[in-house]
Amino acid sequence: MIEPSKLTAVECTNLIQNKEVSVTEITKIFLERSKEINLDINSLITICEDSALKQAEEIDNNFEEYKNKPLLGVPISVKDVISTKNIKTTAGSKILSNYIPPYDAFVVKKLVDAGAIIISKSNCDEFAMGSSNETSFFGPCLNPWDFNTVPGGSSGGSAASVASSQNLISIGSDTGGSIRQPASLCGIVGMKPTYGSVSRSGLIAFGSSLDQIGPFAKNVQDCEKLFYSIAGHDPKDLTSSKNVLESFKDLDSLKGIKIGICNDISDQGISEGVKKVFEDSVDTMKNLGAELDEISIDYIKESLPVYYLTAPSEASSNLNRYDGIKYGYSDQNGKTSWDTIDLTRSNFGDEVKRRILLGTFALSSGYYDEYYGKAQKIRGLIINSFNEAFNKFDLIISPTSPITAFKLGSQINDPLLMYQNDICTMPANIAGIPAISIPCGLSNKLPVGLQIMGPNFSEGKIFSVAKLIEDNMSLNMLDGVKA
Ligand code: GLN
């Protein structure tokens, strides 16, 4: 008898390889569970029953061909900002609510090649703008740990669907924290890879110089497997790296590993509860033999203003294409094409409109040097400070989110308060470096995440260190999930 909440992706593949269960059987179990739990938490925008069963049947019928695939038969949900051929891809927006892409994103092709079964498209903030999943046109997603709280955002549906075992893994996008912050709030593992290590082609663009696609899973091993399945060069993305990514050796201690505790992040509005759990995880690392010291990273405190000039500026340009003329929703009740553009674009939600206004202003002539241009100069300084820090330390740590899952509705009318949720995660996007969030304990019965950042292309080392820390904390995190 398969119990979805007890199963990992690696175990799922093993069961299928040993012919203890077929891919079709696994797919049906998770489809049924998705349908049921989705009614409670609204984590999914589309459940792709027919295409998932077709994909499963294809594998079962050609088992010999597929049997060694790394994600053989693993049910996955894909954030609804990632294009899936012939499957609705809405970006959580009214503007794309009926949009069916004619092609698959590069990562989706990689997932299918790896044998994963795409069973659903997950809920998210509109165009990935938000930290609570409350800006979605399809309604908020709830946190499976406590239905009165948010799952984080913008990839809230991805994190919530993994935490409630509607699927075993998921992929999301992270522009300022949208994988790591919801992973932290839902008690699972999430990673933002090095900028350029995972192709962005087929990702609905938000802030192109910051956006990165990355994995969610219940544990580090599954997360690592998923990462290596989606990473790799793609000629269709000009920022895609040709570096060959290699896994790092398994570790049995952290001896010789130097870890910096990023004070500039760790003292910014972090709640007492989160601080306490974070300090306990520092003790775990010390006990494992790591050398820990505090580190200050110059200019990192400017990350929030740098982010909120860079991301909205790039978004205002990227979202220009939704004009009711090329594709997507179109309101043709006006008389001229200008009326169509006007009427159509008034259907963006408030947060998206706010970003477009901010970005258009920051890019306008006379203000460009003062705002976008200056933000890029400071961005360069932040990158230099990280480079210097990584001359002294292998890895840098901080809490992932300053607070645990917060009450639905408690921040949505206060954008500046909402923006603070990514204070710990944004620096990694600004610098382009990889960062993971792993669960490290509970505060008031809600999960807390530990963030581990490393230099460019150090994913292998990050995964190895994270696995050892995870093993030594033996938390059984998901026992607290209500859904
Ligand atoms: N919460 C941040 C924002 O609203 C980050 C979003 C993201 O990473 N996609 O911009």
154 assigned to active site: yes
**What is d(CA 425, CA 427) in angstroms, rounded to the nearest whole number?**
6
Q: Distance from the CA of 190 to the center of ligand 1, in angstroms?
A: 15
Give all strands (DSSP E) within 182-318, no chain letters: 189-192, 212-217, 258-262, 291-295
Q: Quick check: CB of 399 below 6 Å from ligand 1?
A: no
**What is d(CA 135, CA 124) in angstroms, rounded to the nearest whole number?**
8
Cβ atoms of 214 and 172 within 8 Å: the answer is yes
Residues near 380 by beta carbon (within 8 Å), at least 6 away in sequence: none
Position 224 scores a pLDDT of 98
pLDDT tens, the chain, 483 aa long: 899 999 999 999 999 999 999 999 999 999 999 999 999 999 999 999 999 999 999 999 999 999 999 999 999 999 999 999 999 999 999 999 999 999 999 999 999 999 999 999 999 999 999 999 999 999 999 999 999 999 999 999 999 999 999 999 999 999 999 999 999 999 999 999 999 999 999 999 999 999 999 999 999 999 999 999 999 999 999 999 999 888 899 999 999 999 999 988 866 689 999 999 999 999 999 999 999 999 999 999 999 999 999 999 999 999 999 999 999 999 999 999 999 999 999 999 999 999 999 999 999 988 888 999 999 999 999 999 999 999 999 999 999 999 999 999 999 999 999 999 999 999 999 999 999 999 999 999 999 999 999 999 999 999 999 999 999 987 777 888 988
- What the block records as the tokens of 57 is 């049947």
User: 73: how many CB neighbours lie within 10 A of its CB?
Assistant: 28
Candidates 120, 178, 229, 241; catalytic one: 178
Cβ atoms of 273 and 400 within 8 Å: the answer is no
Q: Distance from the CA of 173 to the center of ligand 1, in angstroms?
A: 9
Pocket probe for ligand 1: among 122, 131, 412, the residue whose CB has the most ligand atoms within 8 Å is 131
Residue nearest to atom 10 of ligand 1 (CA): 129
**What is d(CA 92, CA 76) in angstroms, rounded to the nearest whole number?**
18
DSSP 205: P
Cβ atoms of 51 and 27 within 8 Å: the answer is no
User: 118: how many CB neighbours lie within 10 A of its CB?
Assistant: 22
**What is d(CA 40, CA 148) in angstroms, rounded to the nearest whole number?**
11
93 assigned to active site: no
Among residues 167, 385, 399, which one has the least CA distance to residue 295?
385
Candidates 154, 158, 199, 464; catalytic one: 154
Candidates 43, 77, 79, 303; catalytic one: 79
Q: Distance from the CA of 93 to the center of ligand 1, in angstroms?
A: 15
Among residues 140, 221, 148, 144, which one has the least CA distance to residue 183?
144
Q: 395 phi and psi, to 5 degrees?
A: -140, 160
Q: Could you identify the residue written with the tokens 């002539």? A: 365
Q: Could you identify the residue written with the tokens 């809405």? A: 90
Q: Quick check: CB of 131 below 6 Å from ligand 1?
A: yes
Decide the pairing of beta strands 291-295 and 395-399: unpaired
**What is d(CA 214, CA 178) in angstroms, rounded to the nearest whole number?**
10
Angle, alpha carbons 208-209-214 (nearest 5°): 75
> Where are the chain's structural domains?
1-483
Question: What pairs with residue 189 in β-bridges?
Answer: 217
b/e code 121-150 from CB counts within 10 Å (16+ = b) = bbbbbbbbbbbbbbbbbbebbbbbbbeebb
- What the block records as the tokens of 476 is 């059984």
Position 266 scores a pLDDT of 67
Cβ atoms of 224 and 464 within 8 Å: the answer is no
Q: Quick check: CB of 126 below 6 Å from ligand 1?
A: no
Q: Could you identify the residue written with the tokens 């050398």? A: 291
CATH architecture of 1-483: Alpha-Beta Complex (3.90)
In this prediction the pTM is 0.97
79 assigned to active site: yes
CA distances from 143 to 94, 111, 131, 134, 287 (A): 23, 26, 13, 12, 33
Q: Distance from the CA of 356 to the center of ligand 1, in angstroms?
A: 14
Position 267 scores a pLDDT of 66
